[in-house]
Chain A
């Protein structure tokens, strides 16, 4: 047996170090469908508690929508459970191609290729389309999956300060001699909830002959007037060269992702992207569900409109109560607490009040930027948000942070 006491000891020590640092992650078991009202077992073994979920990526409330569930059942009945093959051998069904076509139309691009997840799309795309003669210039706050994709690519990598267009322009000038340049950003940044300046980025990319890559995982389905994403909001539909997005958040919340954009780039992914070549694609049951999600969203903007109203209500309520929020207008609403321990204590106190919202701290967010990240859904009714607001105010009073500035909270709790 190679797994000796010595080996076990090394891993035990490492895990204990993680616990000592206070960054050991623990799952909370949900005994119900994903929705605004959920039943949670936490800590493990305790009796179930009914709470309002304020931290899901279920932005449009479609994770348990009856029409999506019905479509998933139909997919299971007519196309089976699994494919037992990668796409290019015998793992592509008509419904996979149907979904790729629908995504292309929804995002306003030229072509689309499905991936098992958006993590896989981001991990595979750069290596597939770039060489050592090229450069990738990324915003410093892009998602971890993009960082992984960048690490796997042979091209040079540089960064620009978060949403700093002057700095981006300097970098485009610095790397003007490269064969190909790709500017890389999130559409909506997952931790701060702010939106990329895609109109300015498109202009800079046109000026310096660079391609633009946008991860729309926290945007697709609800940002922009008809929910097409950040590019719709910024008035640059059709001008983004590469979009990656997920079906694991607003678009039904199950799993899967894609690369959508210029047809040659999509074809390069079909020929060379390793997560596409060496892994099964999305299961038929999920593909059927996402096809129906896109039908629902193409027919009506009712759900994204409701989400917008819910978000306005929530931001206004928290602001009037005296919380410090990160600026923005997306359904990601970070309540800033600055101190790591305070964020954990605050989350626990909320849970006792029947509100499920998680505290984030370094290294997930920068040092001294601890927060409760709340996420609003079209699945929330006003009574959910009123109850959550009541709990936030009660807990805010308990910790005496209401009406306090950033500096005052830091003076009270440290950073």
Chain B
């Protein structure tokens, strides 16, 4: 569980943060905090699907479900189990 959290956090930092000094935690709001826009959610969704060999239906890939690393990990686990 912890490992997935770190993988997702690392991906989000590399993918979306432009400022190296910006700090991101597991619970930093990503969508509502303006770090990830709805356009950019696509790559995150595809990354998760490829990495964990799952398929997340569009109606489950909501801005709310993608709003923090913790929430993303919870969503991925729903489809892993």
A158, chain B: closest CB distance, angstroms: 5
Tell yes or no: A237 within 8 A of B by CB. Answer: no
A161 to B19: give the CA distance in the assembly, Å: 12
Q: Is the CB of B46 within 8 A of A175?
A: yes
Tell yes or no: A97 within 8 A of B by CB. Answer: no
Q: Mark B64-75, 1 if CB is under 8 A from A, else 0.
A: 000000000000
B18, B39, B40, B43: the one contacting A174 at CB < 8 Å is B43
Tell yes or no: B47 within 8 A of A by CB. Answer: yes
- Chain A residues within 8 Å of B50, by CB: 174
Instruction: Please report which residues of chain A, range 173-213, place their CB below 8 angstroms from some CB of chain B when the two chains form the complex.
Output: 174-175
Tell yes or no: B42 within 8 A of A by CB. Answer: yes
In chain B, what residue has the closest Cβ to A150?
B39
Q: How many residues of A contact B (CB 8 A)?
A: 9
In chain A, what residue has the closest Cβ to B46?
A174
A159 to B41: give the CA distance in the assembly, Å: 10
- Chain B residues within 8 Å of A161, by CB: 18
In chain A, what residue has the closest Cβ to B47?
A174
> Which one of B18, B39, B43 has the greatest number of beta carbons of chain A within 10 Å?
B43
- Chain A residues within 8 Å of B43, by CB: 158-159, 171, 174
- Chain B residues within 8 Å of A158, by CB: 40, 42-43, 46
- Chain A residues within 8 Å of B47, by CB: 174
In chain A, what residue has the closest Cβ to B41?
A158
B48, chain A: closest CB distance, angstroms: 11
Instruction: Please report which residues of chain A, range 150-164, place their CB below 8 angstroms from some CB of chain B when the two chains form the complex.
Output: 156-159, 161
Q: Mark B23-65, 1 if CB is under 8 A from A, else 0.
A: 0000000000000000110110011001000000000000000
Interface of B is mostly: helix
A136 to B1: give the CA distance in the assembly, Å: 33
Q: Mark A22-57, 1 if CB is under 8 A from B, else 0.
A: 000000000000000000000000000000000000
- Chain B residues within 8 Å of A175, by CB: 46
A156 to B43: give the CA distance in the assembly, Å: 10
Instruction: Please report which residues of chain A, range 136-168, place their CB below 8 angstroms from some CB of chain B when the two chains form the complex.
Output: 156-159, 161
A376 to B66: give the CA distance in the assembly, Å: 45
- Chain A residues within 8 Å of B40, by CB: 158-159
- Chain A residues within 8 Å of B18, by CB: 161, 366
A158 to B42: give the CA distance in the assembly, Å: 6
In chain B, what residue has the closest Cβ to A151?
B39
A174 to B47: give the CA distance in the assembly, Å: 7
Q: Is the CB of B46 within 8 A of A159?
A: no
A174 to B46: give the CA distance in the assembly, Å: 7
- Chain B residues within 8 Å of A366, by CB: 18
A366 to B47: give the CA distance in the assembly, Å: 27
Instruction: Please report which residues of chain A, range 348-389, place their CB below 8 angstroms from some CB of chain B when the two chains form the complex.
Output: 366
In chain B, what residue has the closest Cβ to A147?
B39
- Chain A residues within 8 Å of B39, by CB: 157, 159
> Which one of A159, A161, A171, A175 has the greatest number of beta carbons of chain B within 10 Å?
A159
B8, chain A: closest CB distance, angstroms: 15
In chain A, what residue has the closest Cβ to B43?
A158
A366 to B19: give the CA distance in the assembly, Å: 12
- Chain A residues within 8 Å of B42, by CB: 156-158
A171 to B50: give the CA distance in the assembly, Å: 12
- Chain B residues within 8 Å of A174, by CB: 43, 46-47, 50
Q: Can you sample 14 A-B contacts with CB below 8 Å?
A: A157-B39, A157-B42, A158-B40, A158-B42, A158-B43, A158-B46, A161-B18, A171-B43, A174-B43, A174-B46, A174-B47, A174-B50, A175-B46, A366-B18
A-side interface residues toward B, CB under 8 Å?
Answer: 156-159, 161, 171, 174-175, 366
B-side interface residues toward A, CB under 8 Å?
Answer: 18, 39-40, 42-43, 46-47, 50
Q: Beyond the given A157-B42, A174-B46, could you list 16 further A-B residue pairs with CB under 8 A, ordered by the A residue number?
A: A156-B42, A157-B39, A158-B40, A158-B42, A158-B43, A158-B46, A159-B39, A159-B40, A159-B43, A161-B18, A171-B43, A174-B43, A174-B47, A174-B50, A175-B46, A366-B18
10 pairs of A and B residues whose beta carbons are closest in the complex: A158-B43, A158-B42, A174-B46, A156-B42, A157-B39, A159-B40, A157-B42, A174-B43, A174-B47, A174-B50
